[in-house]
Structure 1
């Protein structure tokens, strides 16, 4: 399984960037925007934006660490929670968390391509219904494979995103060179 190092500072800035463009977006939509942006950026540039691992859950792919960051009780160390709270205001509403930017508007950890892919993902998926997003994300081959396994929240193998390349093995080999961990 190919994995990348999760950059929590970059993830917080990515969430903030999304929230600055679409105030009040819920954690579900932020997760899906991140999923599609990370996937497309990884395919095009050989590196994800956040480095988060994606797990297959009932409503589709979920960025595991970002999901935890957006919970009421994150379980993260104070340093991370303080940085999150400095950039974001999270308003609980039943089982939803509405996320708002505090307006810092500086994103030094995000590259130009990171911001471009986040915005493109938000533009394409941010206004879709829950049902539409669920249906689209359930068609992802890495999701389908992980969901078919026994158990819950199985990790998705991002290498599956390269199966349709002209030379998938070469693409996967190059991907592994940039990865933190391959099992």
Structure 2
């Protein structure tokens, strides 16, 4: 199944900024990635809508957001108002806010994110923010994210139908959710 492209760099950067803000400005890359994946997963479960719109991928350390991972590693040049506006270049294994003073209040400063996005990010932080990067990695391997399959040292796309199935959607619900996201991606492509 072709994966719809809904990736939004600004929303992704602001979601990362929210979690970094909650952490005091800096997080290990692995932990930030797992938190972002879990928030994306919950948004899709609850609303059938993504926060980042990123492609979900199985990698050896669990599920990741593909483009987000590339931005975290500095492999993609950021657009104005995007990743580099909010997030420092990776330093070792850590990712940090570029300028903590830019983010006084998530509700007032992260304007690309909806109230629902902010609520899911906050809930994700409350539920998982206290865990270490390795505890989060282990959590995503423990069966909590059954859509992840071991890619045997490589990477493999997580199809949306498998994700929605893992989230408990009915076959009709899966078809409807994937169709909606595919149509949304086609509209985005037509107007970009």
Q: Compute the TM-score of the two structures, normalised by the length of structure 2.
A: 0.79
Higher-strand-fraction structure: 1
User: CA offset at residue 141 of structure 1?
Assistant: 1.8
User: Is the 1:41–1:117 contact (alpha carbons within 8 Å) kept by the matching residues of 2?
Assistant: yes
1:53 aligned residue: 55
Which position in structure 2 is the counterpart of 1:40? 42
Map residues 4-83 of structure 1 onto 2, 5 A cutoff. Answer: 4-22=5-23, 23-71=25-73, 73-76=74-77, 79=79, 83=82
Q: Any stretches of 5+ residues in structure 2 without a counterpart?
A: 104-108, 187-192
Encode CA deviations 1:130-167: one digit per residue, 9 max, x unaligned: 332122212222102xx2x5671101123223326776
- SS at 1:143 equivalent: coil
RMSD: 2.4
Q: Distance in 1 between matches of 2:167 and 2:65?
A: 24
Q: Is the 8 A contact 2:60 2:153 kept in 1?
A: no
1:134 aligns with 2:134: no
Off by >4 Å, runs of 4+ in structure 1: 164-167
Distance change >3 Å, CA 150–CA 87, structure 1 → 2: closer
Distance in 2, Cα, partners of 1:167 & 1:65? 26
Displacement of 1:21 in angstroms is: 1.3
Q: Given the two structures, how large is their TM-score scaled by the length of structure 1?
A: 0.83
Tell me the equivalent position of 2:83: 84
Distance 2:21 2:89 in 1: 13
Deviates more, 1:57-66 or 1:102-111: 102-111
Between 1 and 2, higher relative CO (CA 8 Å, sep ≥ 6) is seen in: 1
> Which of 78, 92, 99 pairs up with 2:96?
99
User: Secondary structure in 1 aligned to 2:97?
Assistant: strand
* Number of aligned positions between the proteins: 174
Q: Which runs of 5+ in 1 are unaligned?
A: none
